[in-house]
């Protein structure tokens, strides 16, 4: 060899080699994902990619795709990931305390956004937003909760309150307490809502009896019960639309 170098050795010093590390490749992946989001919009990204990007906030370096996919595999959807309790989130590999706080913050923003949608105009004219609001708050809860939306005479929202929290398959509801609270708030109409953690939104006989008891007490006082919505993980039932009340 003309330069006197030994066979098998490169004449390029280590410092002059171009970086080809996995870290640089992952950084490039992040930029490509951000560009797709910016140029084509969120609709161009799969659910795991949206979640992957969100995880960039707590993981400044490294690959967040495995964690995003693991979260979706465990919980089934982005909304279920946001609603998942902290003790279950931390069981997913790659999820630490800061990630859990960020996920719960995203859930809180989504819930308040949906609340704003129904609080600025008559609830009955924004039924889709109302159902979305109830789903955002209740669909993925591990125990039953009974909510009441108190409305004024123009069907605008006065207050949304969780009156009772129960077990996985039962919530104690006291009709007289429901009407007492309505009178305290000067509400003239109510929308009742509760969730079924089992996922099936079909009302039980106890659900129907409780709803009819509330209606019987409310009617003589001039308070209208517009509906009772039951929220499941994959759907909802309106007792009024099903002609159950």
Q: What is the pLDDT of residues 160-184, one digit of tens each?
A: 999 888 776 677 888 999 999 999 9
Domain check: are 220 and 130 in the same one?
Answer: yes
Residues 6+ apart with CB under 8 A from 206: 170
Q: Is 16 part of any domain?
A: no
Note the pTM of the prediction, 2 decimals: 0.62
Domain boundary among 110, 144, 178: 110
DSSP tag of 49: H
Q: Which domain holds residue 227?
A: 122-238
In the predicted structure, residue 5 carries a pLDDT above the cut 50: no
Closest CA to 173 of 210, 225, 226: 210
Domain boundary among 46, 75, 110: 110
Tens digit of each residue's pLDDT (9 = 90 or more) over 184-208: 999 999 999 999 988 889 999 999 9
Q: How far apart are CA 80 and CA 140, in angstroms?
A: 6
Q: How far apart are CA 33 and CA 50, in angstroms?
A: 9
Q: Is 105 helix (H, G, I), strand (E, B) or coil?
A: helix
């Amino acid at each position: 060899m003309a330069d006197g170098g030994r066979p098998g050795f490169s004449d390029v010093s280590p410092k002059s080699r171009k970086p080809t590390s996995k870290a640089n490749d992952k950084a490039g992946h992040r930029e490509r994902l951000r560009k797709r989001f910016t140029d084509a919009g969120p609709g161009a990204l799969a659910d795991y990619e949206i979640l992957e990007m969100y995880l960039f906030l707590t993981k400044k370096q490294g690959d967040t795709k495995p964690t995003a996919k693991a979260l979706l595999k465990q919980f089934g959807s982005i909304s279920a990931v946001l609603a998942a309790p902290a003790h279950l989130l931390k069981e997913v590999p790659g999820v630490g305390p800061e990630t859990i706080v960020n996920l719960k913050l995203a859930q809180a923003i989504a819930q308040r956004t949906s609340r704003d949608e129904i609080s600025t105009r008559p609830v009955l004219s924004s039924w889709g937003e109302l159902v979305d609001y109830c789903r955002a708050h209740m669909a993925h809860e591990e125990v039953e909760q009974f909510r009441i939306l108190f409305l004024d005479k123009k069907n605008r929202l006065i207050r949304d309150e969780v009156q009772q929290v129960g077990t996985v398959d039962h919530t104690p509801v006291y009709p007289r307490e429901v009407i007492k609270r309505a009178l305290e708030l000067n509400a003239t109409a109510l929308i009742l809502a509760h969730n079924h953690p089992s996922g099936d939104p079909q009302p039980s006989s106890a659900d129907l009896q409780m709803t009819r008891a509330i209606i019987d007490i409310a009617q003589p006082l001039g308070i209208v019960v517009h509906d009772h919505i039951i929220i499941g993980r994959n759907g909802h039932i309106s007792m009024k639309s099903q002609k159950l009340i």
